[in-house]
Amino acid sequence: MREFVGVVRRPWVQRGVRASVAAGLAWQIAVLLPATLSDYAYYAPLGAVIAVHPTVADSAGAAWRTVAAMFLGFGLAVGVYEVTRGVPNAFTIALIVALAIVVEQWRLLREQASWVSFAAVLMITIGTDDPAAYVLRYGGLTLLGAVVGVAVTTALFPPMLLTVAVERIAVTRGLLAVHLEDMADAVRGGTVPDPDDWAERGTRLDRALDRMRTAEVQVERARRANPRAARWQGSASRVREQSRALDRVAVLVDDLTDLVAEFQPHRRGLDRVDDGTGWVLADALSGLAAVVRIPYHSGPERDSRDDAVDTALGALDRLTHLLRASEVPDDEGFFALGAVTVGVRRSLHVLEAHPR
């Protein structure tokens, strides 16, 4: 049952259900219209499918832009056709398409701009005998279907896209934590990979971050004109908070990676200061990784996040004490280690890691 619920929550499944329902309703409404329109009822399901998008805002935007692009194409085709009646049809069609492409550059039409040339070619090829009737049949029924599509998207479990966003945040969180843990293990073993190796790891993390950011934007768009927005306000806010916190921590961790991989402070003479320098640095990285893995407390009582926060802050305090007690200001690795300390502290601050 849980697996079934998980599948139903998938955006593509919900969109498929909405599109199917909208297409069926649009057809049924169209066939009830007078014969001049009902004979072309198949245009209505087309408009319904065009208007069904992942969010209510996107659905409404796609609907009006598509219909507007169609009417622009119809009007352009009729206008050029009337002006060029005395020239060969090939020239007329070529001119219409050229002008349609120019109109499609209008930014207001966005992704729906290509409907201008599509509608213009349709009009010039099959609608010139009775342009008004064709515009009414094609444009009017498509508009009808689009209205149905928007209505169904709004009424039938309008998506918040939270499932995808939560999954992508979890993937990013896991990659970020593993990245930190690998750095800690490498520092302990004195086998920090070269910068190219870490760069490859960073590329994978960057892709996950891009997908996470896209999912967060989609959740924000899904809240617009959505009757479910108030109900899921808390979940949507948590998605935004987690996404942005991980984004900021990822930037800091990228700096930490460069410092650890390029300068290798634990192998730059800092062990003269304290034989445990490398281990203290590794503990700080491991502590940060543990906090990254546990974003929230499970309740008012002490939990695993409290333990992770205490461990991370303890490791950071030891690292800070090591730096304050050392006397090697001219060592390049010393300054790198200081920068790592600042980066870890800022990361914990972003993650709101503090004792309760």
Q: Which amino acid is at 113?
A: A
Q: What is the pLDDT of residues 38-59, one digit of tens each?
A: 999 999 999 999 999 877 788 8
**Long-range contact set of residues 231-234: C-beta below 8 Å, sequence gap at least 24:** 232/160, 232/162
Could you tell me if 69 and 113 are in contact, meaning their C-beta atoms sit under 8 angstroms apart?
yes
Higher local confidence (pLDDT), 19 or 328 = 19
Q: How far apart are CA 149 and CA 63, in angstroms?
A: 8
Could you tell me if 78 and 125 are in contact, meaning their C-beta atoms sit under 8 angstroms apart?
no
CA distances from 103 to 51, 73, 108, 117 (A): 22, 9, 10, 9
Whether residue 327 is predicted with pLDDT greater than 70 in this model: the reply is: no
Q: What percent of the chain has pLDDT over 70?
A: 83
Collapse the DSSP code of 238 into the 3-class scheme (helix H, G, I; strand E, B; otherwise coil) and give the result.
helix
Q: What is the pLDDT of residues 141-152, one digit of tens each?
A: 999 999 999 999
Higher local confidence (pLDDT), 194 or 109 = 109
User: How many angstroms from the chain centroid is the CA of residue 162?
Assistant: 11
User: Residue range 265-273: average pLDDT?
Assistant: 46
Contacts of 24 (CB under 8 A, 6+ apart): 45
